[in-house]
Amino acid sequence: MTSTDHSRSDTVPARHGAGIRTFHPRRGRLSGRHLDALDRLWPSYGLMVPDPPEVQVDLSTLFGRRAPVVLEIGSGMGDATVAMAAADSGRDYLAVEVHTPGIANLMAVTERRALTNVRVARGDAIELLHCLPEASLDAIHVFFPDPWPKARHHKRRLIQPAHVELLGSRLVPGGTLHCATDWPEYAQQMRQTLTDDPALVNAYAGYAPRPEHRPVTKFERRALAAGRPISDLIFHRR
């Protein structure tokens, strides 16, 4: 696949009939550097979220081996994906993003660091989850999802009951759902929603201590500089 298959806009357009989206539509054009990365590296690292969603993604074929897979939803510029994949070569990391410059950056860094256990899906994570087999993921990471602070936008939040049921169904038994946020009210809602899901059990009595293996991203640095607390939640599938 080449960049001619990508829209020239820097985000993913809504699909006809798609539900309420959890991401901000962004307008803009891709830089030459990003287009170059997409052209050269897409065949090695890229996965377009299938349309129609009935198409199943075969993770062993995607990574060229059979190993536990970690899905990172909303990987942004890919900082956490790269750091965690580099430190964890026994597992494969599939990042999913709608923001094309972030996808291009992640592919470029993956190549530079010669990582073989990273792939990047372009599209809506909710649609991707429908294309993955049940009980196929060792872990799901949701780091600093868009907080959608206005009450009328809460329906756009990634962590909500229907999405959590879908996330849980894609985890292997004992698999991990790790969420982090700098938005205290969203943290409370996440904790309640995850606690209420019968398929999940909290690994801690409440919030998790900050795990050292979760790298600090730009979003976390910005939150800390603004004095906002960070909350981690780690749940397992029963």
Binding region for ligand SAM (CB under 6 A)? 22-23, 73-76, 96-99, 102, 124-126, 143-146, 158, 217-219
Yes or no: say if 4 and 78 are a contact pair by the CB < 8 Å rule: no
Token match 């292997």: residue? 172
Tell me how far, at minimum, the Cβ of 125 lies from ligand SAM, in Å.
3
The nearer residue to ligand SAM, 99 or 191, going by C-beta atoms, is: 99
Tell me how far, at minimum, the Cβ of 11 lies from ligand SAM, in Å.
7
The nearer residue to ligand SAM, 59 or 158, going by C-beta atoms, is: 158
**Of the residues 5, 146, 196, 232, which is catalytic?**
146
Yes or no: say if 80 and 143 are a contact pair by the CB < 8 Å rule: yes
The nearer residue to ligand SAM, 205 or 212, going by C-beta atoms, is: 212
Residue 131: CA count within 13 A, CB half-sphere: 22
- Written as six digits, the tokens of 135 are 């009980």
Number of C-beta neighbours around residue 226 at 10 A: 8
Tell me how far, at minimum, the Cβ of 67 lies from ligand SAM, in Å.
23
Q: Mapping DSSP to helix (H, G, I), strand (E, B) and coil, where does residue 113 land?
A: coil
Question: Is 146 one of the catalytic residues?
Answer: yes
Give the whole-angstrom CA distance, residue 46 versus residue 28: 21
Yes or no: say if 168 and 202 are a contact pair by the CB < 8 Å rule: no
The nearer residue to ligand SAM, 41 or 71, going by C-beta atoms, is: 71
Tell me how far, at minimum, the Cβ of 25 lies from ligand SAM, in Å.
10
Token match 């991990």: residue? 176
Catalytic residues: 146
